[in-house]
Each structure stands twice: as structure tokens, then as C-alpha cells.
């Protein structure tokens, strides 16, 4: 297995339109997330990266929604994803659309997002599925320097392991958009999710006690028989002295 952290730097596309069939991918991702936005409550929704900024989240119940990017004039906050300028446990939900795919150190990005997420906060992750048509095309040397094949394709099970180490519970996972150039509304793209190009994960941060509560053991009760026996012994000694 290749290491998660590598020296190569990746340039995230500014827009979904910069990726071949990117608009279809964006629509497919929005369809997957639409039922989940009304379930999220709080004060702050963080959209991390260029691609997250274009995902429609109007159904989300969180009022303050803002985008963070390091070189995007559309962003409300200019910052690096590896050094978020927010206090610990100050964000209620975070959308990471293909952030791991274009990161040279995905572990660090996840730890930084985990730092700013509140307890029971929501984390939404999307990426490219290596077991799809796009994953097969990535094996062609001519395409490796083009979008989206120049990015990193992580299997879902590997992302699950990373989330498990950070105590996240995966609530939803689905692969969609089997045929990249086909409409997301077509039945083929909806039903054959296992080999879909876009992988969608919805997880929630869970907090466990650091020190377990000690068990309260009951003190053994003294047997009445032994106490009576001792009393009888003292009575016999008293009679002997007399």
C-alpha cells in the first residue's frame, strides 16, 4: 500500500467545469447529499476547497455557510486546509469535496478538520472511486497528467480506517455516476453504485470517555454464624474464669 503522505503537490481544479464531465459529477454528488442536509443543525458549515464551494447546500439547516480556500477569490476565508484559523470545536459541519484527492498529506487534513469540529459534528467527504471507469483510465500513462487522473484515488475502506482512528461513525456511503458522461438521473447511474465514479461518505464525530468509570464493588458482609460463634466462645471463657 502506498503511503498516505507524499512529497508531490497537487493543484485542485478551481471549478467542476475544469474536470471532464465535472458537471455530471457535481449533480450526482448533490443528489446523494440532498437527503442529509436537513438533518444537520448548528451555527457554522465549513466548505473546504474550491469544489466544495460549488456544491448546493441550501437544504442545510445551518445558517452560516462559508468557504475556505488558499487561493480562491470566491472564498470568504483565505487559509490553508492544513492550518485552519478556527478555534477547537467551533464548527458544526464540514464538507470536504475531493480535498483528500488533491492533498499530499490527507492524514493531516483530517486531523485539522477533526480539531475544529464540535463533538457530534458532521463530516462529509467525497472522492474518486479507484474501482470505476475513471479508475481504470487512470492506469493509462497518457492520461495521468490530466484531470482528474492526476489526483489520488483512495479506496473507501482506507478512508474508513482513517475515520475510525479519529472516532468517527460512518452513517452513509455510496458510489454513484457509473457512466461519467451520462445524466445522474439515469437508472444505470443510480442502481449500480458499487462501481460509481464518485464516492460519498457521511460521518459523525463521536466522543468517548478517556477514563472509564471505576466499578463499585460491594464489601462482603460478615456472616452471622461466625459472629455468634465468637460470642459463644467469649461466654465459655467467662464461665471458666468464674
The three state secondary structure string of 170-221 is EEEEEEECCCCCCCCCCHHHHHCHHHCCEEEEEEEECCCCCCCCCCCCCCCC
The one-character DSSP state at 50 is H
Average model confidence (pLDDT) for the chain?
Answer: 85
Q: Is the dihedral of CA 46, 48, 53, 56 positive or negative?
A: negative
For the cut 80, the answer to whether the pLDDT of residue 2 exceeds it is no
Give tens-digit pLDDT for 195-207: 889 999 999 999 8
Overall average pLDDT of the 158-179 stretch: 94
Q: Which domains does the chain have, with CATH numbers?
A: 16-205 (3.40.50.150)
46 contacts 94 by C-beta, under 8 angstroms: yes
What is the Cα–Cα distance from 67 to 8, expressed in whole angstroms? 25
Give the residue from 83, 17, 15, 25 showing the smallest Cα distance to 53. Answer: 15
For the cut 80, the answer to whether the pLDDT of residue 238 exceeds it is no
Judge residue 237's burial from the number of C-beta atoms within 10 Å of its C-beta, 0-12 exposed, 13-18 middle, 19 or more buried: exposed
What is the Cα–Cα distance from 142 to 96, expressed in whole angstroms? 28
35-44, 114-123, 231-240: lowest mean pLDDT where?
231-240
Give tens-digit pLDDT for 132-167: 999 999 999 999 889 999 999 999 999 999 999 999
Amino acid at each position: 500500500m502506498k503511503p498516505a503522505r507524499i512529497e508531490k503537490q497537487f493543484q485542485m481544479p478551481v471549478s467542476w467545469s475544469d474536470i471532464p464531465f465535472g458537471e455530471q459529477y457535481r449533480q450526482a454528488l448533490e443528489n446523494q447529499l440532498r437527503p442529509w442536509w436537513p438533518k444537520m443543525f448548528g451555527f457554522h458549515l465549513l466548505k473546504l476547497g474550491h469544489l466544495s464551494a460549488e456544491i448546493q447546500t441550501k437544504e442545510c439547516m445551518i445558517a452560516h455557510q462559508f468557504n475556505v480556500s488558499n487561493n480562491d477569490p470566491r472564498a470568504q476565508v483565505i487559509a490553508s486546509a492544513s492550518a485552519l484559523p478556527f478555534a477547537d470545536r467551533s464548527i458544526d459541519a464540514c464538507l470536504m469535496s475531493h480535498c483528500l484527492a488533491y492533498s499530499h498529506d490527507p492524514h493531516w487534513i483530517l486531523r485539522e478538520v477533526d480539531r475544529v469540529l464540535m463533538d457530534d459534528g458532521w463530516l462529509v467527504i467525497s472522492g474518486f472511486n479507484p474501482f470505476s471507469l475513471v479508475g481504470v483510465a487512470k492506469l493509462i500513462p497518457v492520461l495521468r497528467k490530466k484531470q482528474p487522473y492526476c489526483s489520488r484515488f483512495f479506496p473507501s475502506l482506507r478512508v474508513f480506517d482513517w475515520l475510525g482512528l479519529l472516532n468517527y461513525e460512518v452513517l452513509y456511503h455510496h458510489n454513484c455516476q457509473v457512466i461519467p458522461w451520462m445524466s445522474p438521473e439515469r437508472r444505470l447511474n443510480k442502481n449500480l453504485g458499487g462501481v460509481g465514479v464518485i464516492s460519498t461518505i457521511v460521518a459523525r464525530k463521536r466522543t468517548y470517555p478517556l477514563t472509564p468509570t471505576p466499578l463499585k464493588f460491594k464489601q462482603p458482609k460478615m456472616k452471622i454464624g461466625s459472629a455468634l460463634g465468637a460470642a459463644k466462645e467469649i461466654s465459655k471463657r467467662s464461665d471458666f474464669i468464674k
